[in-house]
Amino acid sequence: MQIIALTGGIASGKSTVSGRLAEHGAVIVDADRLAREVVEPGTEGLAAIRARFGDGVIADDGTLDRPALGAVVFNDRSALADLNAITHPAVWRAALERFAAAEASDPDAVVVYDVPLLVEASADRPLRFDRVVVVEADRTERIRRLVAERGMSEADALRRIGAQADDEQRRAVADIVIDNNGTRDELLRRVDALWNDLRSAG
């Protein structure tokens, strides 16, 4: 089994790359999906968030009130660090369970860990991947996509990009950088070439 970490900043095209790899047969483990699962009602994660931030971040139906929590941590680095200390390790434990299940099902599987905050969460667990793939697009192009395709204001786009690791930080952990400043077809061809490389290496 190969475990490939796939990361990239918002609007870099990471989701397109992940989707194409899934079409080729990769097992996708989605960190964002796991992040939702580890704070569902009844989980240790939600209990820990409630203990740290109070009942005000819990909705009437017992689920996490994400806007309320966001209002607490958005401008408070200490509070955000506390939240990350709860969620990041829980997500990593869940990911390890998915990796083990994939290997049990197919020892030759290519598992892609789709993780937007790879660099930001790296202090919570070792970078134990066969390869780290970073999808990259110029900052101006990412802002254009966020405004044109997701309806964000330019100020919101800049805030979202600024809250994440920068290109230099992601390149520092990358084994492979996929450029996505061109067309979708160009990106898909690069992903197809990556898949062929991964299968030949496996």
Q: Over the stretch 44-90, which tens digit does the pLDDT of each residue have?
A: 999 999 999 999 999 999 999 999 998 898 778 899 889 989 998 99
Are 17 and 40 within one domain? no
Of 21, 41, 44, 18, give the one whose Cα is nearest residue 31.
Answer: 18
* Range of the structural domain that residue 68 is part of: 34-106
Mean pLDDT value across residues 90-94: 93
Q: Would the pLDDT of 126 be above 70? A: no
Are 92 and 43 within one domain? yes
Phi, psi values for residue 71, rounded to 5°: -65, -30
**Domain ends where: 46, 75, 106?**
106
Q: Would the pLDDT of 160 be above 90? A: no
Please name the helix (run of DSSP H) or strand (run of DSSP E) that holds residue 30, with its range, or none: strand 27-30
- Tens-place pLDDT, residues 163-194: 888 999 999 999 999 999 999 999 999 999 99
